[in-house]
Structure formats: structure tokens, C-alpha cells
A and B are shown apart, each in its own frame.
Chain A
Amino acid sequence: MSLFDNTFPFSRRQMLAQTSYGVGMIGLASVLAGQAHANTTPLAARPPHFPAKAKRIIHLWMNGGPSQVDTFDPKPALLKYAGQRPDSTARLSTERRTGGLMPSPFRFTRHGQSGLEISELFPHLARHADDLCVIRSMHTNTPVHEASNWLMFTGNVQPIRPAYGSWLLYGLGTENENLPGFIVLGEGQPVNGPSNWSSRFLPGIYQGCQVTLPGDYRPQDVLANLHNANLSPQGQRRQLDFTQRLNDLHRERAGAENAFGARMDSLELAYRMQTSASEAFDIRGEPEQILDLYGLTGLHANAPANARNEARRATFARNCLLARRLAERGVRVIQIYYGNLQPWDTHSDNARGQQTLAGIVDQPIAGLLTDLKRRGLLEDTLVVWGGEFGRTPATEGSNGRDHNHWGFSMWLAGGGVKGGLAYGATDEFGFRAVEKRVHVHDLHATMLHLMGIDHERLTFRYSGRDHRLTDVHGTVVRDLIA
């Protein structure tokens, strides 16, 4: 460490080394070096347009499309009209041919002080009824997975626009540059894959970072090149000192360009990221009671009848726990997709499918909400739950439900939304949103608003015009905001 002391009076690098590499000290070092270079990086946190209710988003993404009439939108009329197809729904075509109406086999009961109705599929989540802001009047453009996923995540039915997570990162930066600011967790690959979290015409650094972790992952390998397999930590520090010394000498000769300093600072950030990012993904230190909360304890030990579902539950639960850890560490946008391709796509045997799927996510999601709340994180973390669309109240085949873009349910929690609310309504069969309709663009406008961003002012000049997430659409749904 005193390697250069005798040769040179003062090294910028050493000063950083001695001051625990504080970001503030980098600024100071630059001033001392006679060059006040730009000390904001493209990922540095930036103030929102107006005070934000939410600082981050956790999106629980039920890919495939959950059935609203089996979960959050009770429709007793379905029983009365079972097997029939009332005229008002006759023209509502979806992806495939559907027949008569099929009542939900699941019982709805009122929960919490609000009396929010939730079906028996979510016994754990129901205990959070007073935190949930259910939007029963969602609608989207088409009953096709690809297009609807793109619309939900990028605001366009074609894969040509940046993901909303990229927009948020571009607008707000991230609160922790030692971690990617937009992380996508999940198992396998959802339909559309990376185009759901692509930054498109925004700079590539705003792209979502997909982290798919096997059960036995090593925290130091969660991000590419996070770990140096060849050098000890001390060896690496020495090596970096030498590199930075050469960089200092280069600056003396070539001039103190901002770009040179920025890259040197970035090398230091990268060095620290090695430990901070590994630590963020390391859940081994989590106490038993936290694992219990997410339903993670002994998941494998209980020798389940259906091992595949148990493994899925473990993965989803672990990702929920990781989401909390990442939220805690200032990651701006965290998305968890349920699983490979589109598991919620219950074209046949809808009841059994929805039951299994809900059973897997119920406790982990409830655990996440509890955990966030206990830590005081829920108030500024916006949790979003839903799929790319809903499912038809009418049957497909004998017992399935088709895609339904006419109307579906999503819920929000935390992050400045009203709890215990059921907003908007579908028709009496749960087919089409009719009251206080909320389009995906409106949802985006509202999410951005909660994050302190005016969706009409967050723009990026590209191809001759200013683009925005909501294009020329979107209205903030103020009634959802607490």
C-alpha cells in the first residue's frame, strides 16, 4: 500500500483507498486534482418531477394471465347464467372460440376492515386485504400473449419501445450504483424473453438485467464477471492500484479529461460491486422466521407429492425474498415473472390450474408484503400484481378459460396507493370492463405518477420526435392514490 509513497507525493488512488472509497471523496479527490469533472454518472439518482410516493417498484408478473372471476372479481351472476351466453357478451371475441359462461368454483369472502372480496385461492394474501388496491376494470388491446406482454412492459404492442423499467431508470437513475437498477428475476424464459425488458432506443445501460438463479447458485456468480477467479482480494486491490497509477500518469500527460476520470471512478465502483452485489443476493444469513414468512423453510424436506410445484414455490418464494433485499438496497425496478413461458395460461382445466398456480404464489407474496411493511419499506415501494390480461368467464373447451383483454383485474399495494379498495368494475359476468376503465397506458401513467414522474414530461428525443412511455395516451388514475 505504501508502494508509491517514496516516489510520488500524493496519489489520487491511494487517497481513495484510505477513505473507504466514498463517492463524496471521489468528488473531493477530483477537486484536489485540479479538475472538477462531472461526478454524476448516467445511473446516479436524480430528483423526480414532483415528490414521489414510491421510490421503487416490485412487479409480480403472473405470466399467462390469471382469471379475474376466480381471484379478485366475484361474479355471482355466472351461476345463474351458467352454460348460457347472454347477448351482451356474444360479440366479445377473444383468441379462441368460447362457449357458455362458467361460474367460478371458488368461494369469495370479505376480508379486513375494508371488506375487500378475495377468493379462497389466496388465504395468506387475504390477510393483507386492507393493503390491496384492486383494479377490476383493467383492459388491454389484444388477446394475444406477445402483444399484450409488450404493451404491459413497454407501452406498445410491438417490440419497438423501451421497457417501463428502462424509462424509470433513465428518468430517476438508481439509488445504488453497486447493483443494476432494473432487475428481472424468474425461472426459465417468459414469452418474448428479453424484449420485455429491453431499453430499445434508450442507452443500453438502462436495459433490464435478467437474473435467473438455480437453487444452488453462488452469490458471487449472480452477475456476469462479478468474481475474479484468479486473484485474492488483496492481489486484486494491488493490481487495481497499479492500473489507476498508470491512469494517473496518463492524465498527467494527456490532460484531465472528464471521460478519463469517470472511467477511473467507475473502476472503483466495479471493485466495490464485487462484494456488495454478492451480498445482496446472498440469503444464507436470513433468519429462520423470515424464511418461514415466505414459506421457504423446509420446502424440500417435506417430500411433496408434486415435487415440481414445490420447486417452483421455492424459486418464487426465494425471488420474493430477493426482491425485498434488492428493494432495501435501492434497486429501482424489480420484476419477478412467475415462470417459464406462460404458466397462468389455463386453456383447459382452469380451476385446477388457477388453484395450483395461486397456491404457489400466495404465501410468498403475502410474506413479501408483511416483510416490506415491517421494515417500513411498503410505504414507498409500489407492488404491482397481475398478468398481461385476464381470462374469459366463458368456457373454452369443456373447462378452460381463454385469454381476455376486454376486462381483467390487477392489484397494487404500498407506494402511495389506497388500500382495501376495489376500483372500477366489469360487466355483471366479469367479461368486459365497463366502469372506470383503466387501460394499460393509464396504469403506466399512474405508476410513473406514483414514482414522482409526469408521464407526459418524461421524454426522449429519438428519430426526430420526443417519445414517451405512454406515447399519446394515458391518464393518471387519481382515485387510486392515497
Chain B
Amino acid sequence: MNRYVSIFAIGFGLFLPLTCLAQQKVSTEELNFFEKKIRPVLVEHCYRCHSSETAKAGKLKAGLQLDTRVGIRTGGESGPAIVPGNPAKSLLLAALRHETFMMPPSGKLPESVIVDFVAWIKNGAPDPRDGKSVVQTEKIDWQKAREFWAFQQPKVHAPPQVKNAGWPRKDIDRFVLAGLEKRGLEPVRAATKREWIRRATFDLIGLPPTPEDIEAFEKDKSPEAHAKVIDRLLESPHYGERWGRYWLDLARYTDDLGGTVGPVVAPTAFRYRDWVIQAFNRDMPYDQFVRLQLAGDLIAEPVKDYAERLGGLGFQGLGQRFSGNAVGMVKKKVADELDDRVDTVTRALLGLTVSCARCHDHKFDPIPTVDYYSLAAAYNGANLSVEIDLAPQDHVAAETKRKKEAAELQAKIDKLTADEGRRLGRQELARLDEYLLAAWKLRVLAERKQPADAEAVARASNLNSFFLIRWTKALANPKGVPLLEAWHAAALKASETAAMNGPVEPPKDLRDASTKAKSQADDALRALSESEGAKTKLPPAAETFIKVHLSNDGAAFQLRGKDAAAYLSAADRARYDEWGTKLQRLQASAPAAFARAPAVIGGGQTMQINVRGNADQLGNVAPAGFLQILKPQDPSPASKFTRLELADAIANRNNPLTARVYVNRVWHYHFGRGIVGTTSNFGQLGDRPTHPELLDTLAVRFMENGWSTKWLHREIMLSATYGLSSAPDAKNLAKDADNHYLWRMSPRRLDFEVWRDSMLAVAGKLDPQIGGQPYRDPQGKVQLHPEDVENRRRTIYGFISRFKPNPTLTLFDFPEPNVTSDQRTATTIPQQQLFALNSPFALAMARSFAERLEASEKTVDRRLHLAWQLAFSRPPTEREKVVAQEFLRDAASAEEKLGPWERLCHSLLTTNEFAFVP
């Protein structure tokens, strides 16, 4: 019976494990062998990485457990470790022999050990061990998972009752105040009008208010004064630059896609950047903003403006692109690029860390591995970073057709002239002696300053004047005619001896040399026609001759293009003209070149799970579709899952996360901290909302108000909460030092872009131009960086590089453009201050600032007033005036390259007050 099973098993390996699992009996002899030869080796060399113990500690390698009979037979990610009775199919042996894996990692075991394992497996691998594999995935309790706050639909909550009923201005304030009162915190004083307008202006357009803005606001005593300022700022074209940059952080925007020896430039990336800026300026509804970025090419709605419809696809098209030429890394490259898209989309739009499920089920959130691959299907098979035309499909197709037709016509024309040119060139090359002598005559005549009409000579000798002129020129070359040195020497000698006024007759030497040259040409031409007939390679000597005199560019007998057209037969000439006219018509009908932009196209192919994230090891097929936790409880099975379905699932009122996550981001950018502190992680490991009901209410009302970001700004900024000062308060600080409950406005340091742009604004040097290519010098030759003195554009228009990040941006906490970034870190290190103290940029700004003061005001007092207004949005205090005047006096007496006002201005730009939002 046993024997029968073995034979059967070899044929059908699949059934074998079952047979063996059923086989429990192990003889004493077999037991001894196992205990002496097999188990000790497994314990000593394998269990450290492949046992229940390591599995429990979460350190099991390759999903392979070797300490149970079941485990060793079931195997790990690569398949069964042993196939009893079949050493050849037992991966364990291959690993021990270092044929596939090299195990154990510390070094190959002695050959005798391997022999033992072979014998054991041959014998059916009798194994007395018991115990079950602990490797199994825990089932997700979906019902329970859905109870988590972030997966519940947000609802509108009635604003709570508060004691201090006079303080709230908006519903927001009642939610906030209730939280404060509950914790015994008290709101601090309101910000002054100057503080408020400075804050609001930085917040919305990323620049300080002008003295005129401040004055108008101070004078406006109407109840709508604040709303008017907000409206004015929201209408500013600079609004999109400020808020677009936040989005570009999330979209990991870049102008190159990395590279190894140099940047792989994405020359049209800026169109995505500008698309984002314009989307904010136009207040594009957020759901549409998301849909266009994910699936602008797939949506069915009629669209007029293709730049608007397709320009957002750079959100995905500017994702990571890896090098795929590495051995064994081609599949990994694609998988890593897919992961970039999944990671960016899910963290930026959903606040979920779905990417964690690439290798294993998410450890904290209800996202099984299969969900990762279900969602990734939207991108699977896509061309992940391409450039597309921002135009309707049929226009693009028509243009492609037009270009193809033009190219075909051009090719036909070229062939016609090339054929004729070749024929004529060869024909005349055979008369090389005649050309040489005629050219010599012309040359002598020219030297004698006698009339030398090449056309006439050609006519008289029945030669082609085009070639003859070429030969005359070649002859004039003092280096001689290549390959015809003997002839050239003879020609020179003949010229010298030719009588000054006699008839120009070539001497015998020259005639002989010419005949010799002709026979060289004859030989080469014969060899040419033979080799063409036999399709063999031309002998080297002939090849050189043909190249030099017939086929190289500039060879005397080379005739192409328009030059050849003159010699076409009448019939050919007619065709030539007809095609030419057609071609001209086609070229004249070319539309203006389409603008191009980065994008992703295609995708939507179902994927196989990559076992443990290993792209070379494929598991079950993951049914394409959205995350289970965010799907309706009993979804109708998806027939397909493209980026369009993905977009619809995200930009969807029923998605509990999309609006919450976005509203929370906007809140974060206004207050320096979100209601959920972890703005891109709403999962278990993320923070819980400090004001859950406020967040939900705002999220629902945001959707009800057409997903309008500008509505949201007004809602937030008109609140008393936003209008609080940033004054510290010891009692509040003791209870809520990090201001989670919003008893004040937390002071925030300006991010680098705003700080730099503000210097330009204060210095009166800001170039307000919106959009366009990353900035270059005025001649358009050199890429300019934020630290370059000539660069007066806003920082957002710089060239953002993944290959070589700009060191100034990096120094000031600019986010890493390889991955989505939701928050800027704010570090303080001395090299940042070196920029403020010494950089040519800061000094140039100080100089311009001083010039502006000196040009505008005459007295010290008024200059100081203007300086403070420009830099700090307020007049100087009396103490500051004294300090400043002393400094000016002292600076005036010192011998420095900077004048006192330049130095004063430099100091103002270096202060804390200039670097922080009040």
C-alpha cells in the first residue's frame, strides 16, 4: 500500500501532503533518525527565524514555520519546504544546498547534514512532531470595525449651550467654547484689528498686508469689515498660490522625476502646478477637484475646457518613477510605482494608511492585504507617468493623422529627389576625368582674372554645372582633393606652368592623372553595383572612395533635396510639385501646438496579491474594487474598477472620510493644528478629534455648500475663535499647553515660501506674475533658485527637484517631494539663521527695503513709521524708536559697506516678529 501511495504521489504531487498528513505512525527507527539527525539541525539553525515562537513575536521569516509537521509540509511564501518522498521538489534542500535561498544565512551546513536530509525526505519525511501552525490571519470583525468614529457617517450636530453666551460669533465658536468651559479654560483677548488683518492676509495669500490695506480696514467700522477683507483676499490671484502650495505638498509636486546621473526633467509639470492654483482661485468644488485629478480623462460629463479637465492628472502622473533596469527589480519597480499612487491617494484624500496593507493585513485598521490589491487595480496596467495633450481626443487624433500624412509626403518627396540625385551622381562620377579637367580650366582662368563662367563651360562640355561648381570649389581647397593627391599635385604643377596668356590646355601629365582618377572612379562604381547586386559589403577602398566623392554630405557628386529637384523628369517633376503643394497645405493647416501636461492613462486591471509585498511572488487574485470598510454593506459586485470608480468612491457624499479629511486640513492650515492632529491618518493610530461634533458638522455643511473651499474659509475666519489673539495665559498654559482646545491662536512660524515672498513684498521687489515655467534668468537660460538675488518671483514657481533638492528649501523644512506631505515640520537650526544674516538674497532685500524707505519718506521718524508698517503691520513703539535711532546713529559712524538704513532694514527682516504669524 505504501509503495502504491509513493508512486501515485510522484505523479500528483498536489495530493501528497494530504496523504502524509493522514499518515501518523512513525517507526522507532525513523524516530531515532529524526531525533538524532534532523531535529537538532532544525533547532540549532532554523528555529530562530522559522518557528511558532518567532511567529508569535511577529518575526517569522518568509511565512515559513519549520517546528511542526504541518508547518514544514505546508511551507511558506515559496511553497512547501519539503515534499515527502521527493527531494528534488523539496525547497528546503535547495536552500540548504544554496541553490535558491542560501540557508542558514550564517553559512552552508556540512555535506553530511544535507545527505541526512535527503535520506529523510526520500523516506517520506517521518515526523513525530505535533502542534499547529500559528500563522493564520485574524478575521476582521467588520461590524465592530464600522463602529470606529471615522467610518461612521458624519452628521450635523446642534451647537452646544455655553455659559458665556456673548462670546460666540459663529456656530464654530459654541463648539469651541463648550470645550473650553468643560475644561475650565478661558479664551484670551481678541486679536487687534492689525493683528487680525496680518494673520488673515498671511493665511489667505501668503503675503503681509500693505499699509493701505491696514488703513482701510482700520477705518472701516462696519460689521462687515472682516468679511470684506476676507472677500478681497479670496478674490486675489495670490490666494491660489498660497493654498495651491499646500495641495502641492500633498501631491508631492516636482519638476523632475528623480534620476541617477542627472535629473529626469518633467518639462510640463508646471501645468499641473498652475492647474491647482487656478482650481483654488476659481473655487472649484472639492469633489470635482478630486474627480478631475483622479479620472479627468475618464469622466463622461461634457467639458469645454480640456486644460481644466485633463490638467489635474499630474496628481498621479508626477508620482514616483523608479529605475527599472536593475536585475531582478523590474517587477518591483512597477509595484513600487503603484504603491506610490495608492499611498498618495489614500493618505491625502482619505486619511488612511492603506499602503501598510501591501505586505500584510493592516495591523490596526480594517484593511486586509486583499483590499490593497483590490484598490491598486485602478492603477494596474496604467501608464503611470506620461505626458498628454490637453485637447479633445478627436483633435489629438486628427493632429496625429495630419502629422503622419505630412511625414509620409515628405518621405515620398525625399525618395524622389534622392533617387534622381543618386542616379545622376553616379552617372556623372563615371565622367570624373572630364569634370576634373574642366574644373582645372576654370581655376586657371580665375587665376588669370579672365572670365570663368562655369555654366558656359559646363554647357560647352555637356557637363552638369552643379557638380562642376562643386569640383571647382573642391579644387580650391589648399589641402587638396582627398584620395586624388596625385591628380591634385599634377594640377598644381600644370597651373604654374600654364602660359599666362596662351590657351588653357591641360598638359599630358594632367590628362594622364585625370584618366587615372577616372579609372579609380570606375573601379569604385563597379564594386558598388556588384555589392548592391550581391547584397554584400563594399570593399574598404571602394567604400571610402564612394563616401568621399558621392555619398558623404558635401561630397562633390552628392545631390539631394531641392538641388536634385531641378533634374527630375517632367513626370517626376509634376509629382514632386503636387506632393509639395499638398504638404504645404497640410503644414499650413497645423493647429497651434497643444499644451501638454503630466498624466496617468489606462489602468483598471485586476491584480494578484503580491505575497508579503514581494512582486515576484504572486498569490490569489484580488477582486478589483474599493476598500471594504468604506463600501456599502451589501454592494452590488463591481463589474470593473478603474480610476473613475475610484474617484466616484472617494468624491462621494457617502464616503465618511473625504469631506472630514479635507475640512480638517483646511482647519489645520488656519490654526496650525487640525481638529484631528494627524491630518493624514484618521485610523486607529491617528489622533482622535478634539472637537468631533464640530468636525462632523463642518464636514456635512461643507458638502451642503457645494464642497466650496472659499465657503469654508469664511466660516472659519469669521469666527471669534479665529479672531483670538495669540497672547499666552499662564492658567490656560498649565492645563492645555499645546492649545488643543483653542483658547488662543497658536503663534506659527511662517513657512519658507511666505517668509521669502514677504521679504520681496516688503522690499517692493515682488514680481506678481502668476504661473508659467519654473523661473529662469531674464534670458531664460539659467534655472533660478529661491536664494538667487535676481529671482523676484514667488517661491512656488521654483524648480522643485527630486534629483537634487534645493539646499535652501531643504534647510527650511520644505517637504520631501517624493511622498505626500500633510504637515511641515518647523525646525530651528543655525544654518537657517546664516541665511538670514549673510545670504546675498537677504542683503539685497534689505538694500531694496531701505531704498524704498529713503525714496518715500524724508524724516527719520516717518521712515521708521513706514518701515514698521511694512514689516510688522504696526507703528513702532516709543522704546523701539529710541533703540532704532541709537542704532542708526551708531551705524552712521561705522565704516561698513552697508548704510545705516540698509542695516536697520536687514535687522527688521531678521527679527522674530517678521518670521511669525501673530
* 796-849 of chain B: CB within 8 A of chain A: 802-805, 807-808, 810-814, 816, 818-819, 825-840, 843
> Are the CB atoms of B323 and A42 closer together than 8 Å?
no
> Which residues of A sit under 8 angstroms from B803, Cβ to Cβ?
193-195
> Are the CB atoms of A263 and B915 closer together than 8 Å?
yes
Give A337 Cβ to nearest chain B Cβ, in Å. Answer: 14
Of chain B, the residue at the smallest CB distance from A435 is B107
Bound complex: CA A341 to CA B260 (Å): 10
Which one of A147, A194, A264 lies within 8 Å of B805 (CB-CB)? A194
Of the listed stretches B522-530, B771-779, B893-901, chain A binds B893-901
> Which residues of B sit under 8 angstroms from A424, Cβ to Cβ?
107
Q: Is B603 interfacial (CB-CB < 8 Å)?
A: no
Of chain B, the residue at the smallest CB distance from A193 is B804
Bound complex: CA A201 to CA B822 (Å): 12
> Are the CB atoms of B911 and A269 closer together than 8 Å?
no
> Are the CB atoms of B882 and A7 closer together than 8 Å?
yes
Q: Is A191 interfacial (CB-CB < 8 Å)?
A: yes
Bound complex: CA A435 to CA B110 (Å): 11
* Number of chain A residues whose Cβ lies closer than 8 Å to a Cβ of chain B: 91
Q: Is A213 interfacial (CB-CB < 8 Å)?
A: no
* 343-371 of chain B: CB within 8 A of chain A: 343, 347, 352-353, 355-356, 363
Which one of A3, A205, A226, A247 lies within 8 Å of B834 (CB-CB)? A226
Of chain B, the residue at the smallest CB distance from A226 is B834
Which one of A225, A227, A266 lies within 8 Å of B829 (CB-CB)? A266
> Which residues of B sit under 8 angstroms from A232, Cβ to Cβ?
894-896
Q: Is A29 interfacial (CB-CB < 8 Å)?
A: no
Bound complex: CA A254 to CA B189 (Å): 13
> Are the CB atoms of A437 and B106 closer together than 8 Å?
yes
> Are the CB atoms of A194 and B804 closer together than 8 Å?
yes
Q: Is A79 interfacial (CB-CB < 8 Å)?
A: no
> Are the CB atoms of B831 and A223 closer together than 8 Å?
yes
Q: Is A385 interfacial (CB-CB < 8 Å)?
A: no
Q: Is A212 interfacial (CB-CB < 8 Å)?
A: no
> Which residues of A sit under 8 angstroms from B329, Cβ to Cβ?
142, 144, 147, 157
Give A73 Cβ to nearest chain B Cβ, in Å. Answer: 16
Of chain A, the residue at the smallest CB distance from B48 is A475
Of chain B, the residue at the smallest CB distance from A203 is B825
Give A196 Cβ to nearest chain B Cβ, in Å. Answer: 10
- Contact A235/B896 with A205-B811, A225-B835 known, Cβ cut-off 8 Å: yes
> Which residues of B sit under 8 angstroms from A10, Cβ to Cβ?
none
Of the listed stretches A125-133, A237-245, A374-382, A446-454, chain B binds A237-245
> Which residues of A sit under 8 angstroms from B879, Cβ to Cβ?
7, 249
Q: Is A192 interfacial (CB-CB < 8 Å)?
A: yes
- Contact A95/B894 with A246-B883, A267-B833, A434-B98 known, Cβ cut-off 8 Å: no
Bound complex: CA A262 to CA B819 (Å): 29
> Are the CB atoms of B887 and A242 closer together than 8 Å?
yes
Of the listed stretches A107-115, A270-278, A280-288, chain B binds A270-278
Which one of B102, B727, B807, B835 lies within 8 Å of A437 (CB-CB)? B102
> Are the CB atoms of A7 and B883 closer together than 8 Å?
yes
> Which residues of A sit under 8 angstroms from B883, Cβ to Cβ?
4, 7, 242, 245-246, 249
> Which residues of A sit under 8 angstroms from B632, Cβ to Cβ?
none
Which one of B107, B816, B831 lies within 8 Å of A224 (CB-CB)? B831
Which one of B326, B811, B830 lies within 8 Å of A144 (CB-CB)? B326
> Are the CB atoms of B827 and A243 closer together than 8 Å?
no
Give B620 Cβ to nearest chain A Cβ, in Å. Answer: 23
> Are the CB atoms of A263 and B327 closer together than 8 Å?
no
* 220-234 of chain A: CB within 8 A of chain B: 223-232, 234
Which one of B106, B838, B890, B904 lies within 8 Å of A228 (CB-CB)? B838
> Are the CB atoms of B326 and A177 closer together than 8 Å?
no
Q: Is A180 interfacial (CB-CB < 8 Å)?
A: yes
Bound complex: CA A378 to CA B614 (Å): 41
> Are the CB atoms of A267 and B814 closer together than 8 Å?
no
> Which residues of B sit under 8 angstroms from A250, Cβ to Cβ?
911-913
> Which residues of A sit under 8 angstroms from B638, Cβ to Cβ?
none
Bitwise, B316-345 to A at CB < 8 A (1) or not (0) is 000010110111110010001000000100
Q: Is B665 interfacial (CB-CB < 8 Å)?
A: no
Bound complex: CA A253 to CA B840 (Å): 31
> Are the CB atoms of B747 and A257 closer together than 8 Å?
yes
Which one of A146, A180, A229, A251 lies within 8 Å of B831 (CB-CB)? A180
Bound complex: CA A149 to CA B42 (Å): 35
* 857-879 of chain B: CB within 8 A of chain A: 877, 879
> Are the CB atoms of A157 and B326 closer together than 8 Å?
yes
> Which residues of B sit under 8 angstroms from A144, Cβ to Cβ?
323, 325-327, 329
* 200-216 of chain B: CB within 8 A of chain A: none
- Contact A146/B911 with A224-B807, A238-B891 known, Cβ cut-off 8 Å: no
Q: Is B558 interfacial (CB-CB < 8 Å)?
A: no
Bound complex: CA A316 to CA B894 (Å): 44
Q: Is B726 interfacial (CB-CB < 8 Å)?
A: yes
Give A439 Cβ to nearest chain B Cβ, in Å. Answer: 8
> Are the CB atoms of B896 and A231 closer together than 8 Å?
yes
Of chain A, the residue at the smallest CB distance from B748 is A259
> Which residues of A sit under 8 angstroms from B258, Cβ to Cβ?
159, 195
> Which residues of A sit under 8 angstroms from B836, Cβ to Cβ?
267
* 413-447 of chain A: CB within 8 A of chain B: 424-425, 434-437, 439
Q: Is A204 interfacial (CB-CB < 8 Å)?
A: yes
Of chain A, the residue at the smallest CB distance from B106 is A436
- Contact A160/B819 with A144-B327, A204-B811 known, Cβ cut-off 8 Å: yes
Bound complex: CA A475 to CA B683 (Å): 32
> Which residues of A sit under 8 angstroms from B840, Cβ to Cβ?
229
- Contact A463/B355 with A93-B327, A177-B830, A254-B913 known, Cβ cut-off 8 Å: yes
Q: Is B549 interfacial (CB-CB < 8 Å)?
A: no
Bound complex: CA A76 to CA B804 (Å): 45
> Are the CB atoms of B830 and A270 closer together than 8 Å?
yes
- Contact A463/B343 with A147-B323, A249-B877 known, Cβ cut-off 8 Å: yes
Q: Is B108 interfacial (CB-CB < 8 Å)?
A: yes
Of chain A, the residue at the smallest CB distance from B749 is A259
Bound complex: CA A225 to CA B833 (Å): 9
Q: Is A68 interfacial (CB-CB < 8 Å)?
A: no
> Are the CB atoms of B830 and A266 closer together than 8 Å?
yes
Q: Is A464 interfacial (CB-CB < 8 Å)?
A: yes
Q: Is B130 interfacial (CB-CB < 8 Å)?
A: no
> Which residues of A sit under 8 angstroms from B918, Cβ to Cβ?
254
> Which residues of A sit under 8 angstroms from B356, Cβ to Cβ?
463-465
> Are the CB atoms of A255 and B727 closer together than 8 Å?
yes
Bound complex: CA A145 to CA B327 (Å): 11
Q: Is B116 interfacial (CB-CB < 8 Å)?
A: no
Of chain A, the residue at the smallest CB distance from B847 is A230
Bound complex: CA A351 to CA B896 (Å): 59
> Which residues of A sit under 8 angstroms from B814, Cβ to Cβ?
204
> Are the CB atoms of A246 and B805 closer together than 8 Å?
no
Bound complex: CA A376 to CA B894 (Å): 47
- Contact A435/B811 with A3-B890, A159-B818 known, Cβ cut-off 8 Å: no
A42-B827, A246-B911, A249-B877 known, 18 other contacts, Cβ within 8 Å:
A143-B327, A177-B830, A178-B830, A204-B811, A207-B805, A224-B787, A224-B839, A230-B898, A231-B897, A242-B887, A243-B907, A247-B913, A267-B910, A269-B830, A463-B343, A463-B355, A464-B352, A464-B683
Residues of A participating in the B interface, judged by any CB pair closer than 8 Å: 3-4, 7, 41-43, 93-95, 141-147, 157-160, 177-178, 180, 189, 191-195, 198-201, 203-205, 207, 223-232, 234-236, 238-240, 242-243, 245-247, 249-251, 253-257, 259-260, 262-264, 266-267, 269-271, 273-274, 341, 424-425, 434-437, 439, 461, 463-465, 475
Q: Could you show 29 A-B contacts with beta carbons less than 8 Å apart?
A: A7-B879, A142-B328, A146-B260, A146-B323, A147-B323, A180-B831, A191-B260, A193-B260, A194-B805, A195-B802, A198-B816, A203-B827, A205-B829, A223-B831, A224-B834, A225-B837, A226-B834, A246-B908, A247-B912, A250-B912, A255-B726, A255-B727, A259-B828, A264-B912, A266-B833, A267-B833, A270-B833, A463-B356, A465-B356
Sorted nearest first, the 10 A-B pairs with minimum C-beta distance are A464-B353, A270-B833, A144-B326, A270-B830, A255-B728, A269-B830, A435-B107, A225-B838, A225-B834, A204-B810
